[in-house]
Structure 1
């Protein structure tokens, strides 16, 4: 005889940040759901209070899961992340407690690559400085000013060739640029030929590129991968774009390189202050970086902020959470 699961027996799931109502409705079909319906993340205290009796969590970029967090959530068995990078999650601590987890590997790559192309073109064509000049009201008509390197006939170097790097390379085909990449794991030859990519060593991609794009995860090996010493080896006036993780670059070194002219421009959708897992992460973006208006394009972590894609990401994470909670271990991709 089949009986309906009682309210008390249903798993308690917590959605830590804003999602569309369809996600909450989907989860509510089999679980009790507590959701953050505001556009602001809960404080750590609020999250811990809400998640204290949670069986599963649907989590986002502002969240940080460490051993102390898990100690406050004794019933927790499953975490589904509506995000790609998981450097703010202590997976070893999760493994030690038998907590299952799943993230979204591919859905974020295409829109992030799209934004990266936009940043690169904007900086390579001096759009921030030109836009600011027009807005002064002093533009008299064409003058031989704001000449720039551009992308055509330039060399674009890509550091890292995972899914995000591949999506970016796909979108750069046809721009008339030479595409170099550096990655310890080389693509197969047919993929390199299709994407018109040349594999080189890290030092070569740094020294030969007019425009440098970072596509690596944040690990102990990539923390401040781009530092003052590396920037000094770049071509004078090179453009640097960082859509991956803020702490892959030393932002103070970037400021110094911009001030000296060693860097011609810097684009970032991510910042060191977002990397909560770092014990020494800065509390804010350096004001000296924000002041470099003519030579920077800085966006508020909107790499995947396309409505239809964010909806898909949230629903995919919800399906993953359902699968994890029900112990199917068959995440939806």
Structure 2
């Protein structure tokens, strides 16, 4: 009986030993298709017996979005897509489910590094550090007219929109700095393993109204695109701060710039953008904006943990026809989904 085949549409850079071990239970194919058109053609030939695909955000440079069109061209043997990343907006999960393809992602592996990044942005915006750096790079020192005096995090209210693994890690860190933490989520969290809740659950409206700092920590999908726009920003405190380490599309960039220029927002900290790597000039040139080039998980430790979890998902897929960290849209539906697509 032929061994399962795994198609690698991205390299492994950190968990190389674990990846080599995976070759003991499956045949590894390396994608050499230069673009989407070639990839589709190759799915009918050299990739026509694959069981699993390993993808990441870089894979889209070859395949484009894994949408209904692409899925319809993939071999019927494909059962699993193991994606490297907590966010998976490059994959149409609904189309995958209809085709009987299960999808995994790497939520827990990114929590610590992304939460650390959010804390960096929060502290920088509260203390007006971007203004100070902006002055220094121009050859000027701090003065009362060039750098506004900042605020301590202690006693400020942090509102977290999306209390998944990253949100929880952020809440833990924010409490160390003396911040009051509130959150809004699709469902209220049960804090059974904590002496007291990490954060207070509030309505979306109250989250906007009470937050001194609003942190976005939710996935990007059709329901969350531009979840924060002009109307939502207008409901925030004047002088508030927004930090985004989730996906650029959850935040309306035009509305954000308008609120910053009008003074309604004091400062913003961004690690993600709507049209990466393009960043609007109004953000780049504004000294009240703290910018990072999508570095939330850009650490050796986080990258290793992410790759390792992808490999564990692939191992489970090959050996047990299951995934460990199934995307939320497919949780509890594996048996139903898997009956839709057969070898």
TM-score interval w.r.t. the shorter chain?
Answer: 0.7 to 0.9
CA distance in structure 2 between the aligned counterparts of 1:91 and 1:71, rounded to whole angstroms? 13
Report deviation, 1:196.
4.7
Residue 28 of structure 2 aligns with which residue? Answer: 33
Judged with a 3 Å threshold, the aligned counterparts in structure 2 of structure 1 residues 42 and 210 are, in CA distance, closer, same or farther, namely farther
Residue 133 of structure 2 aligns with which residue? Answer: 131
* Runs of at least 5 residues in structure 2 that lack an aligned partner in the other structure: 327-343
Query: Do residues 181 (structure 1) and 183 (structure 2) align?
Result: yes
CA distance in structure 2 between the aligned counterparts of 1:313 and 1:227, rounded to whole angstroms? 31
Query: Do residues 205 (structure 1) and 200 (structure 2) align?
Result: no
**1:222-257 alpha-carbon deviations (Å, 9 max, x no partner):** 221110111112111211001112111101110111
CA distance in structure 2 between the aligned counterparts of 1:304 and 1:47, rounded to whole angstroms? 28
Which fold has the larger relative contact order, with Cα–Cα distance below 8 Å and residues 6 or more apart in sequence? Answer: 2
Question: Please, what TM-score do these two structures have when normalized by structure 2?
Answer: 0.81
Do the aligned partners of 2:271 and 2:291 also contact (CA within 8 Å) in 1? yes
* Runs of at least 5 residues in structure 1 that lack an aligned partner in the other structure: 275-282
**1:268-321 alpha-carbon deviations (Å, 9 max, x no partner):** 2222236xxxxxxxx9433333332x1222222222222122112112212211
Judged with a 3 Å threshold, the aligned counterparts in structure 2 of structure 1 residues 323 and 51 are, in CA distance, closer, same or farther, namely farther
Residue 316 of structure 1 aligns with which residue? Answer: 309
Taking only aligned residues, the RMSD between alpha carbons, in angstroms, comes to: 2.7
Instruction: Give the one of 44, 58, 76 matched to 2:36.
Output: 44
Do the aligned partners of 1:78 and 1:325 also contact (CA within 8 Å) in 2? no
Query: Do residues 11 (structure 1) and 20 (structure 2) align?
Result: no
Judged with a 3 Å threshold, the aligned counterparts in structure 2 of structure 1 residues 42 and 81 are, in CA distance, closer, same or farther, namely farther
Judged with a 3 Å threshold, the aligned counterparts in structure 2 of structure 1 residues 132 and 231 are, in CA distance, closer, same or farther, namely same
Secondary structure of the structure 2 residue equivalent to 1:331: coil
Query: Do residues 69 (structure 1) and 70 (structure 2) align?
Result: yes
CA distance in structure 2 between the aligned counterparts of 1:36 and 1:150, rounded to whole angstroms? 50
| 1:223-242 map, 5 Å | 223-242=225-244
Judged with a 3 Å threshold, the aligned counterparts in structure 2 of structure 1 residues 130 and 23 are, in CA distance, closer, same or farther, namely same
Judged with a 3 Å threshold, the aligned counterparts in structure 2 of structure 1 residues 131 and 47 are, in CA distance, closer, same or farther, namely farther
| 1:96-245 map, 5 Å | 96-139=98-141, 145-188=147-190, 194-245=196-247
Query: Do residues 58 (structure 1) and 54 (structure 2) align?
Result: yes
Report deviation, 1:91.
1.9
Report deviation, 1:332.
7.4
Do the aligned partners of 1:16 and 1:42 also contact (CA within 8 Å) in 2? no
Do the aligned partners of 1:246 and 1:271 also contact (CA within 8 Å) in 2? yes
Secondary structure of the structure 1 residue equivalent to 2:196: helix
Judged with a 3 Å threshold, the aligned counterparts in structure 2 of structure 1 residues 42 and 212 are, in CA distance, closer, same or farther, namely farther
Residue 277 of structure 1 aligns with which residue? Answer: none
CA distance in structure 2 between the aligned counterparts of 1:332 and 1:218, rounded to whole angstroms? 18
**1:88-126 alpha-carbon deviations (Å, 9 max, x no partner):** 212222222222332223111121111111111111111
Judged with a 3 Å threshold, the aligned counterparts in structure 2 of structure 1 residues 155 and 332 are, in CA distance, closer, same or farther, namely closer
Question: Which range is displaced more, 166-175 or 77-86?
Answer: 77-86
Do the aligned partners of 1:206 and 1:230 also contact (CA within 8 Å) in 2? yes
CA distance in structure 2 between the aligned counterparts of 1:42 and 1:238, rounded to whole angstroms? 45
Question: Which range is displaced more, 67-76 or 165-174?
Answer: 67-76
Residue 261 of structure 1 aligns with which residue? Answer: 263
